[in-house]
């Protein structure tokens, strides 16, 4: 009987509380609650309107900035690389937008892109390590300048560098190109003819922020380790390029696994450009290549390690020798020898 009365009292208290809440909500508290909610809605609406207006303003400012950059671009790039022969190496993960911006700016500067090569994922992936070692052993006899203990990455990088600098039609380039492209797990994909040699190499690297790498890595540390291993492999490749001729690396530099940032931190003798595919970044590509061809090292952009946001105009067109002047020079040399 006591338990039944207890349940009756409990149920009664619940209904009483419900009734009081309904009365208060519909009466004395209704206005204050409504006013508070309306105030919050109005505040959020005002904030949203302010953000939209700010976004529109920033978009307009960015458009004007881009227009200004494009207006000065010809003064910084036109003819700067006239008739120079350039090779483009595209690392996995690079965007087509970045690649296209580099292509277009090089064309505007008068350069000729002789070779465009994309590295396959197997260049650095752990799953292809055995295949890379096997390929390296086949390439070593063709690269006598390397020491016997040269790493697999050095062997592969040297082989690709020799193909680019000499062309696949050359005596040294032909067999190396064959191995790199026709191995059972090809490490390079070529979208142009490899036959012609290049005077300078541009390496386009991905932005690891674009794929949310660091966010993913908080759940799977192996992802970050893999990205770090990739970056180290690409840095070694670019170092090999830089050791033999003009080389520019372009990409982001604001994350620990960004290739350009690692190159700058390591002090590698390759010029670097960040903030592509922006107008400033693509202009800086031309400036950096011209500096490299003139024997100068530059780091351009807005991110870590850059020395200037926008580089100054530099020119490195191919020298055109007048046949008559050349003939006169030859005759003068012959007269000196005769004396």
When pLDDT is averaged across residues 28-44 and rounded to a whole number, the result is 65
Question: What integer pLDDT is reported at residue 119 of this predicted model?
Answer: 93
Residue 214: burial class (beta carbons within 10 Å; 0-12, 13-18, 19+) = middle
pLDDT band at 214 (very low <50, low <70, confident <90, very high): low
Instruction: Kindly report which listed range (116-120, 185-189, 302-306) carries the lowest average pLDDT score.
Output: 185-189
Question: What integer pLDDT is reported at residue 164 of this predicted model?
Answer: 94
Question: What integer pLDDT is reported at residue 17 of this predicted model?
Answer: 64
Residue 69: burial class (beta carbons within 10 Å; 0-12, 13-18, 19+) = middle
Segment of 11-15, 17-21, 187-191, 295-299 carrying the highest mean pLDDT: 295-299
When pLDDT is averaged across residues 72-97 and rounded to a whole number, the result is 92
Question: What integer pLDDT is reported at residue 11 of this predicted model?
Answer: 72
219 or 232: whose pLDDT is higher?
232
330 or 6: whose pLDDT is higher?
6
DSSP letter for each residue of 262-300: HHHHHT-SSEEE-STTSHHHHHHHHHHHHHHHTT---EE
Q: What is the dihedral of CA 133, 135, 140, 142, to 10 degrees?
A: -170
Question: What integer pLDDT is reported at residue 94 of this predicted model?
Answer: 92
Q: At what angle do helices 28-77 and 96-108 cross, to 10 degrees?
A: 30
**85 and 192 in contact (C-beta within 8 Å)?**
no
pLDDT above 50 (res 206): yes
pLDDT tens for residues 268-325?
A: 999 999 988 888 999 999 999 999 999 999 999 999 899 999 999 999 888 765 555 4
> Which residue's entry shows tokens 């006013």?
35
Q: Give the torsion sign (CA, 174, 319, 79, 276).
A: positive
The encoded tokens of residue 98 equal 């970045």
When pLDDT is averaged across residues 326-335 and rounded to a whole number, the result is 52
pLDDT above 80 (res 198): yes
Q: How far apart are CA 328 and CA 7, in angstroms?
A: 119
pLDDT band at 215 (very low <50, low <70, confident <90, very high): low
pLDDT band at 262 (very low <50, low <70, confident <90, very high): very high
pLDDT tens for residues 130-142?
A: 999 999 999 999 9
């Amino acid at each position: 009987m006591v338990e039944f009365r207890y349940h009756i009292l409990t149920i009664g208290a619940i209904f009483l509380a419900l009734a009081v809440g309904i009365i208060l909500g519909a009466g004395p508290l209704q206005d204050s609650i409504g006013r508070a909610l309306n105030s919050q809605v109005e505040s959020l609406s005002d904030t949203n309107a302010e953000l939209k207006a700010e976004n529109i303003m920033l978009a307009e400012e960015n458009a004007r900035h881009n227009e200004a950059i494009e207006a000065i671009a010809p003064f910084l790039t036109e003819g700067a690389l006239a008739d120079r022969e350039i090779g483009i190496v595209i690392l996995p993960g690079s965007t087509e937008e970045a690649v296209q911006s580099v292509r277009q700016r090089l064309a505007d500067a008068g350069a000729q892109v002789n070779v465009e090569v994309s590295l396959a994922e197997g260049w650095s992936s752990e799953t292809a390590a055995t295949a890379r070692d096997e390929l390296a052993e086949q390439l070593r006899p063709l690269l006598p300048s390397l020491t016997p203990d040269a790493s697999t990455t050095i062997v592969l990088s040297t082989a690709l560098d020799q193909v680019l600098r000499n062309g696949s039609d050359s005596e040294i380039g032909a067999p190396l190109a064959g191995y790199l492209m026709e191995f059972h797990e090809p490490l390079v994909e070529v979208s142009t003819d490899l036959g012609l040699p290049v005077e300078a190499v541009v390496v386009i690297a991905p932005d690891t922020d674009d794929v949310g790498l660091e966010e993913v890595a908080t759940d799977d540390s192996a992802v970050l380790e893999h990205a770090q291993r990739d970056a180290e492999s690409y840095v070694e490749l670019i170092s090999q390029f830089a050791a033999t001729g003009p080389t520019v690396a372009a990409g982001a530099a604001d994350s620990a696994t960004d290739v350009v940032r690692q190159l700058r931190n390591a002090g590698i003798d390759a010029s670097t450009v960040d903030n592509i595919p922006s107008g400033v970044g693509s202009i800086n590509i031309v400036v950096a290549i011209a500096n490299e061809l003139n024997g100068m090292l530059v780091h351009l952009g807005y991110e870590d390690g850059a020395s200037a946001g926008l580089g100054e105009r530099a020119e490195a067109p191919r020298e055109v020798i007048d046949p008559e002047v050349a003939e006169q020079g030859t005759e003068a040399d012959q007269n000196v020898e005769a004396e």
